[in-house]
């Protein structure tokens, strides 16, 4: 039990406590308040047991620098031995430890050696509330005695600055002593000044130094590096200078500045530059702390001292009404001046050591009434309950930032058109390149700043509703987000283009441009209807947090924070430009001069006449053993950028690829499962029983329907064993996804979903978004109804081209409505999106067999429109996090989607008309890149599921009915992992086994080939494990930037090569331009089977 005070509290103080709703017992217990300490440079990582926490770790390091807790355990042990007590970690304040109240800290050896410093928990909480980020310029208006300054500089890392101000010189000198003791003053400057009138601007650090001489005397022209080692004469000069300052100078007295505080190299006039009103919005401080002078009645230890000082002193210092009134006036002035020095979008924290409403709530309420531009931030309880979101997403909003500017429309439209064209252009190539929106997200930053600096500020139609300007001011983050939303529309693949390619190129049937345009536009826009129906459940609730968006938020913040070029290094923009140029220049080799770099298959070179070696070693047509690609388009073609994959996900994909490619596929082939040796070991082709290409056109009647008599004559359709196993793994992945989510995330999803649908309390982000006009629900309903009507009309009126009956459209829409919510919940909470395309193909294949276009139309409207809706919801959540007005987001998405659809269709139509024999592998010249691997697979699927039907392939009438057992295997596999996790809970690696990812790793094969996987896994390992673990600082600054630069560089070179050489049919013909040098990889090995260019066994 704590010892209680012998003397009762005076009656006046008891009345004071009662008036403020305070419990007197907190002051009567002696030695009840623990002491607190904190270690310099002491940060703590969260438990990185999932991809979500991987994101959290990445984001923490983006903003706090590399986390370094060196020797922390040894230091704790040393302290516990010194104090003969146990240190208790303070969970709600990272880096803080508490000790018993009687502990003497100042006399301890670790304290004297500068290994830790004492600081109140309340002071630490005030500093943490600032949410200091890398590069911030921070102002502390009441800096003494210095513990808060130390913590600020500790959190700030190696960039930005802290300016400390205090009116008492002797107290500020204590701050200087602490900074020197803990070696934390490198980015700090200290001014003796009145915090109510202080007006100096923050300064940026200079990259050069003058000398180690002092620069504090009055008449010096340029500030040199500060040092405390000064001769007596210089100290005397400084003292006289202070006397002159007191007598007449208006400048605050500078008593300390660090080497990188921005002072060294400045002239006096530059240092004492004050902030005018027009500069504050962009040149003010990022964060301001006003820890104001008060009555200190909130300090229990302080009040207990009055027992010895005398209660009359308490009456004079705490209860005196006149002094209290003068303090509230001072507090209001400090708060007002701190806000004046805060830049737009910055954060200010106001705190006192008083528990009275008059010195806290009343001061803040009056300030908010007087300053309508100030927005009160949130308490921790109001912030997002998802810790990763709370740590990453900004909790402030600047409503004055322009959104739909001339820059937004120009750069957004340009990014959308360019990415749409490039992605569709590269889609038909052997190694399709996906140019992601990250390329545009990074590339538009210098363009946006260039337009802000060069465009005229003239206002057109001033005073009217049509008033606008070409240059509303500096390029801002909200413009950037909207430009990226435009780019996102062009970065994705317009799935309906597959229908156009299948009908025109493969089936060689009529499909008019008007019908193609209707299909493409409606499939892209229909998803808005599903998004509108469920946005209140999947966007507004804090529980629906969409983990993938945190990477985007982190990147936006990184690109818009002030960045100083590190010594010997480069900024992110400089690094992007260097990598872009290198990627641009290099791609001329694999893209034109030396295409074999796409897949270097050395086994084929060693054994040029061995079919077995070619089957094993070919990266394009075999199992890819030892094959590697030196072409970024090959590496990132199907699995996305390997630089964006966390290592545990890479490990699952690598294991799944190895299981399929090096275990199951060889066993199935060499044991001749499903007549495997009759066909190539790896192929997406459709074959007859003798290994010849199946004549699909022979089994199609004039009405574009299956001709059963012709089908009986042609015989059963066969596929390679690898292709059959791929469908099996797809089946397994579907059931594994459901079972895995239920076992590992079921309880969480239920709780999160229930809270999302039932919670009435809004988190901070939803509350901030309420200030903007919401998108009316009828906008979404109109889009939904108009699209459904147009689709039904098109399917009825152009039924000869589209085949899908009206009831098929309604059934597809019903499936989309049914699956959008559960799939959305899974995607928003677990970052996993189950693939349901096979379900739609299965359903319509059984209900309406023999109509291939009807099957793919049903899949597009039943699955792809739902997937589009999920994408729109994710983008809405990104706008929610970045505080983009909802109507602006809606307009950007709709306009961007329509532009993207038009450009994708126009590009595809142009290529189909200008590239001879596009997608026809038999007629294309050797080494031609226009092989359309993705469209071949789509066409094959339309034949398997639509024309012939699932019953004749995988059903009771089919040859591959055994593949259905993979459904069961996929359901059992996660159960085994779950049981292992329960049996060995301490084996964390078991939790990382994600069966949906492992079993679904190869669902892209074909069209993806082995070299796409082998190269991807190696690069992903180098980035996600080696660079992340051992070169963390480089990884955090440049990893994602490098990914975007590589995408952009080869995209522009690929386009240039086609326009300059490809359209003129200028090709090279030498051994380095022929595939991967494995011509025998596709040869069958069954005796008696004849194939062109292959030996007969």
Instruction: Write the pLDDT tens digit of every residue in 892-919.
Output: 999 999 999 999 999 999 999 888 888 8
- On the 0-12 / 13-18 / 19+ scale of CB atoms within 10 A, 497 is buried
Q: What is the pLDDT of residue 242?
A: 56
**pLDDT tens readout for residues 947-975:** 888 888 888 888 888 898 998 999 999 99
Q: What's the chain's Rg over C-alpha atoms?
A: 34
The pLDDT value given to residue 316: 58
| Tokens 């082709």 sit on residue | 685
- The whole-chain average pLDDT of the chain stands at 79
Which of 174-183, 445-454, 993-1002, 1063-1072 is least confident?
A: 1063-1072
Main-chain phi, psi angles of 99, to 5 degrees: -130, 165
Q: What is the helix (H) or strand (E) element at residue 642, kind and residue range?
A: none
**Scanning the structure block, which residue is given the tokens 């998803």?**
527
Q: What number of other Cβ atoms are within 10 A of residue 72's Cβ?
A: 15
Least confident range from 44-58, 177-191, 333-347: namely 44-58
Alpha carbon separation from 231 to 56, 227, 234 (Å, rounded): 51, 11, 5
Confidence band for 206, pLDDT divided at 50, 70 and 90: very low
For the residues of 520-570, what is the DSSP string, one character each?
HHHHHHHHHHHHHHHHHHHTSSTT---TTHHHHHHHHHHHHS--PPPTTS-
Instruction: Please state, in angstroms and rounded to a whole number, the distance separating the CA atoms of residues 410 and 406.
Output: 6
The answer to whether residue 332 scores a pLDDT higher than 80 is yes
What band does 74 get if pLDDT is binned at 50, 70 and 90? low
**CA nearest to 894, candidates 1024, 787, 752, 1030:** 787
The CA distance from 480 to 475, in Å, is 8
What is the rounded CA–CA span in Å between residue 1084 and residue 444? 51
Helix (H, G, I), strand (E, B) or coil at 118: strand
Q: Give the SS3 label for residue 89.
A: strand
User: β-strands 35-38, 117-118: how paired?
Assistant: antiparallel
Catalytic residue among 142, 150, 294, 353: 353
**pLDDT tens profile 478-512:** 999 999 999 888 877 788 898 998 898 888 888 89
Q: Work out whether the CA dihedral 1046, 1047, 1050, 1053 comes out positive or negative.
A: negative
The Cα-based distances of 1018 to 631, 651, 665, 682, 1023 in angstroms read 13, 11, 22, 22, 9
Both tokens of 691, joined, read 């290994």
At residue 509, the pLDDT reads 85
Cα–Cα separations (whole angstroms), residue 733 to 10, 148, 740, 843, 867: 73, 53, 10, 18, 17
Name 680's Cβ contacts closer than 8 Å, sequence gap at least 6: 621, 720, 1081, 1082, 1083, 1084
Tell me the C-alpha distance between 1066 and 1054, whole Å: 14
pLDDT value of position 958:
82
Cβ atoms of 454 and 861 closer than 8 Å: no
Residue % of the chain over a pLDDT of 90: 19
Cβ atoms of residues 372 and 355 within 8 Å: no
DSSP 643: G
Asked if 258 contacts 264 with a C-beta cutoff of 8 angstroms, the reply is no
Residue 50 pLDDT level (bands cut at 50, 70, 90): very low
Q: What is the pTM of this model?
A: 0.61
For the cut 90, the answer to whether the pLDDT of residue 1005 exceeds it is: no
Q: Above 90 in pLDDT, residue 414?
A: yes
Residue with tokens 């921005």: 262
pLDDT at 660 over 80: yes
Strands 96-99 and 35-38: antiparallel
Q: What is the per-residue pLDDT for 8?
A: 65
**pLDDT class for 762, splitting at 50, 70, 90?**
low
pLDDT value, residue 480? 94
Sign of torsion over alpha carbons 187, 193, 199, 200: negative
Give dist(CA 1029, CA 62) in Å, integer: 15
pLDDT above 80: residue 809: yes
d(CA 121, CA 722): 63
pLDDT of 48: 32
Tokens of 713: 């004559």
Q: What is the reported pLDDT for 830?
A: 59
From residue 247, give the alpha-carbon distance in Å to each of 253, 273, 561. 12, 21, 41
What's the DSSP call for residue 951?
Answer: G
1029 SS3 class: helix
Q: Which residues pair with 35 in a beta bridge?
A: 99
**Is pLDDT of 756 > 80?**
no
**Of residues 598, 700, 620, 588, the one with CA closest to residue 1058:** 588
Measured CA to CA, the distance from residue 185 to residue 259 in angstroms comes to 8
**Residue 515's pLDDT band (cuts 50, 70, 90):** very high
Residue with tokens 């004050």: 274
The DSSP output letter for 267 is: B
Q: Which of 965, 960, 933 is nearest to 949 (CA)?
A: 960
Residue 345 — φ and ψ, nearest 5°? 90, -5
Comparing 453-467, 578-592, 863-877, 890-904, which segment has the lowest mean pLDDT? 453-467
Q: What is the mean predicted confidence (pLDDT) over 42-49?
A: 35
291 marked as binding residue:
yes
Q: Which of 797, 789, 768, 783 is nearest to 881 (CA)?
A: 768
Helices marked H in 249-360: 268-271, 277-283, 300-304, 306-309, 311-314, 321-340
- pLDDT band of residue 793 (cuts 50, 70, 90) is very high
The alpha carbon of residue 343 and the mean position of all alpha carbons in its chain are separated, in whole angstroms, by: 26
d(CA 573, CA 448): 13
Q: Are 98 and 119 in contact (CB under 8 A)?
A: no
Angle at 33 between CA 30 and CA 38, to 5 degrees: 150
Alpha helices in 915-964 (DSSP H): 933-941
Q: Residue 47: its pLDDT value, please? A: 34
- Residue 1020 and residue 651: Cα distance in Å, rounded? 9
Per-residue pLDDT band at 4 (split at 50, 70, 90): very low
Residue with tokens 């987001």: 889
Token couple for 1057: 């090569």
Query: CA 132 to CA 130: how far, in whole Å?
Result: 5
User: Which pLDDT value is given to residue 70?
Assistant: 44
CA distances (Å), 1064 to each of 176, 835, 1060, in order? Answer: 72, 41, 7
| pLDDT class of 555 with cuts at 50, 70, 90 | confident
Residue 158 and residue 130 in contact, taking contact as beta carbons nearer than 8 Å: no
- Per residue in 138-154, pLDDT (tens digit) is 999 888 888 888 888 88
Confidence (pLDDT) at 1050:
81
For 556, phi and psi rounded to 5 degrees?
-60, -45
What are the start-end ranges of the E strands in 869-996? none
- For the chain, give the longest Cα–Cα distance: 112
Weakest mean pLDDT among 248-262, 608-622, 713-727, 1075-1089: 248-262
First-to-last CA distance in the chain? 92
Active site residue 353: yes
The residue among 811, 918, 898, 919 whose CA lies nearest residue 520 is: 898
Q: What is residue 95's predicted lDDT score, i.e. its pLDDT?
A: 77
CA distances from 417 to 329, 493, 903 (A): 58, 13, 6
Task: Return the pLDDT at 249.
Answer: 54
Distance CA 1079, CA 549 (A): 44
For residue 56, the model assigns a pLDDT of 36
Of all residues in the chain, the percent with pLDDT exceeding 70 is 81
Q: Are 283 and 340 in contact (CB under 8 A)?
A: no
Q: Report residue 228 CA to chain centroid gap.
A: 46
What domains can you pick out in the chain, each with its CATH number?
33-118 (no CATH), 120-391 (3.40.50.150), 406-439+512-562+569-587+631-1066 (no CATH)
Name the region of 933 (left: φ>0; alpha: ψ -120 to 50; beta: rest).
alpha
Q: Is the dihedral of CA 1001, 1007, 1010, 1014 positive or negative?
A: negative
3-class DSSP state of 306: helix
Q: What is the DSSP letter of 602?
A: H
The predicted pLDDT at position 276 comes to 67
């Amino acid at each position: 039990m704590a010892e209680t005070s012998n003397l009762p509290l005076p009656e006046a103080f008891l009345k004071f406590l009662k008036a403020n709703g305070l419990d007197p017992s907190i002051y009567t217990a002696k030695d009840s308040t623990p002491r607190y300490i904190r270690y310099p440079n002491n940060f703590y990582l969260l438990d990185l047991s999932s991809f979500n926490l991987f994101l959290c770790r990445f984001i923490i390091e983006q903003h706090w620098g590399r986390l370094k807790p060196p020797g922390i355990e040894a230091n704790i042990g040393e302290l516990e031995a010194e104090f003969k007590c146990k240190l208790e970690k303070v969970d709600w304040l990272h880096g803080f430890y508490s000790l018993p109240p009687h502990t003497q800290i100042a006399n301890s050896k670790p304290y004297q050696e500068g290994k830790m410093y004492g600081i109140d928990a309340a002071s630490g909480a005030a500093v943490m509330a600032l949410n200091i980020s890398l590069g911030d310029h921070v102002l502390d208006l009441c800096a003494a005695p210095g513990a808060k300054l130390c913590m600020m500089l500790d959190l700030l890392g190696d960039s930005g600055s802290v300016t400390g101000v205090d009116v008492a010189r002797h107290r500020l000198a204590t701050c200087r002593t602490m900074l020197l003791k803990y070696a934390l003053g490198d980015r700090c400057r200290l001014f003796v000044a009145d915090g109510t009138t202080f007006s100096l601007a923050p300064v940026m650090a200079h990259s050069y130094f003058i000398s180690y001489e002092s620069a504090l005397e009055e008449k010096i022209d340029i500030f040199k590096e500060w040092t405390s080692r000064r001769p007596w004469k210089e100290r005397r000069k400084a003292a006289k200078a202070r006397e002159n300052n007191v007598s007449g100078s208006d400048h605050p007295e500078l008593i300390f500045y660090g080497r990188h505080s921005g002072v060294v190299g400045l002239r006096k006039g530059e240092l004492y530059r004050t902030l005018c009103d027009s500069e504050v919005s962009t040149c003010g401080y990022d964060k301001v702390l006003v820890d104001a002078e008060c009555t200190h009645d909130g300090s229990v230890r302080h009040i207990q001292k009055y027992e010895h000082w005398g209660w009359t002193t308490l009456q004079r210092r705490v209860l005196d009404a006149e002094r209290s009134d003068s303090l509230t006036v001072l507090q209001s002035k400090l708060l007002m001046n701190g806000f004046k020095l805060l830049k737009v979008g910055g954060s200010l924290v106001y705190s006192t050591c008083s528990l009275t409403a008059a010195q806290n709530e009343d001061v803040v309420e009056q300030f908010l009434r007087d300053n309508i531009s100030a927005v009160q931030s949130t308490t921790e309880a109001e912030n997002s309950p998802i810790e990763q979101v709370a740590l990453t997403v900004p909790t402030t909003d600047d409503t004055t930032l322009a959104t739909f500017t001339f820059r937004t429309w120009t750069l957004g439209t340009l990014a959308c058109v360019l990415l749409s064209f490039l992605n569709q252009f590269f889609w038909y190539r052997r190694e399709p390149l996906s140019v992601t929106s990250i390329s545009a997200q990074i590339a538009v930053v210098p363009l946006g700043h260039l337009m802000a600096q060069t465009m005229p500020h003239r206002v057109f139609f001033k005073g009217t509703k049509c008033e606008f300007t070409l240059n509303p001011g500096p390029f801002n983050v909200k413009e950037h987000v909207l430009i990226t939303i435009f780019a996102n529309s062009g970065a994705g693949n317009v799935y309906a283009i597959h229908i156009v390619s299948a009908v025109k190129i493969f089936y060689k049937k009529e499909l008019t441009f008007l019908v193609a345009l209707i299909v493409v536009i409606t499939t892209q826009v229909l998803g808005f209807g599903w998004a509108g129906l469920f946005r209140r459940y999947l966007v507004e609730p804090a529980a629906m947090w969409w983990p993938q968006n945190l990477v985007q938020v982190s990147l936006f913040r990184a690109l818009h924070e002030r960045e100083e070029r590190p010594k010997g290094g480069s900024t992110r923009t400089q690094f992007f430009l260097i990598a872009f140029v290198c990627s641009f220049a290099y791609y001329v080799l694999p893209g034109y001069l030396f295409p074999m770099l796409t897949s270097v298959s050395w086994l084929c070179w060693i054994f040029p006449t061995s079919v077995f070696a070619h089957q094993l070693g070919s990266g394009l047509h075999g199992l890819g053993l030892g094959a590697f690609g030196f072409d970024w388009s090959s590496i990132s073609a199907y699995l996305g950028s390997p630089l964006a994959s966390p290592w545990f996900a890479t490990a699952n994909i690598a294991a799944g690829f190895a299981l399929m490619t090096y275990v199951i596929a060889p066993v199935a082939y060499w044991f001749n499962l499903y007549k495997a040796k009759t066909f190539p070991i790896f192929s997406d082709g459709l074959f007859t029983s003798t290994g010849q290409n199946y004549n699909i056109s022979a089994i199609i009647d004039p009405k574009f329907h299956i001709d059963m008599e012709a089908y009986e004559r042609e015989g059963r359709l066969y596929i390679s064993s690898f292709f059959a196993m791929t469908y099996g793994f797809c089946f397994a992945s579907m059931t594994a996804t459901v079972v895995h989510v239920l076992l590992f995330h079921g309880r969480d999803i239920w709780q999160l979903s229930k809270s999302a649908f039932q919670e009435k309390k809004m988190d901070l982000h939803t509350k901030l978004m309420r200030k903007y006009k919401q998108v009316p629900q009828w906008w979404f309903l109109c889009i939904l109804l108009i699209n459904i009507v147009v689709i039904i009309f098109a399917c009825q009126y152009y039924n000869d081209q589209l085949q899908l009956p009206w009831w098929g459209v309604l059934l597809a829409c019903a499936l989309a409505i049914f699956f959008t919510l559960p799939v959305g919940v899974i995607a928003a909470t677990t970052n996993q999106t189950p693939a349901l395309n096979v379900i739609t193909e299965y359903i319509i294949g059984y209900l309406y067999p023999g109509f291939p276009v009807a099957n793919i139309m049903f899949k597009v409207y039943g699955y792809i429109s739902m997937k589009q809706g999920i994408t729109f919801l994710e983008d809405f959540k990104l706008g929610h996090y970045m505080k983009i007005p909802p109507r602006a987001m809606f307009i950007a998405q709709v306009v961007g989607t329509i532009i993207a659809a038009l450009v994708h269709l126009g590009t595809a139509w142009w290529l189909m008309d200008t590239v001879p024999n596009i997608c026809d592998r038999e007629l294309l010249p050797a080494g031609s890149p226009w092989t359309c691997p993705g469209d071949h697979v789509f066409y094959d699927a339309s034949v398997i599921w639509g024309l012939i039907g699932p019953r004749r392939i995988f059903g009771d009438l089919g040859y591959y009915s055994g593949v259905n057992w993979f459904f069961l295997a996929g359901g059992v596999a996660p159960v085994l992992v779950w049981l292992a996790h329960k049996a060995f809970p301490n084996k964390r690696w078991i939790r990382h086994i994600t069966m949906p990812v492992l079993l679904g790793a190869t669902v892209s094969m074909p069209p993806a080939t082995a070299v796409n996987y082998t190269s991807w896994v190696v690069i992903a390992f180098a980035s996600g494990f080696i660079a992340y673990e051992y070169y963390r600082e480089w990884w955090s600054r440049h990893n994602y930037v490098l990914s975007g630069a590589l995408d952009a560089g080869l995209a522009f070179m690929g386009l240039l090569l086609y326009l300059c050489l490809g359209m003129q049919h200028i090709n090279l013909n030498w051994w380095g331009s022929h595939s991967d040098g494995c011509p025998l990889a596709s040869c069958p090995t069954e005796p008696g089977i004849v194939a062109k260019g292959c030996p007969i066994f």
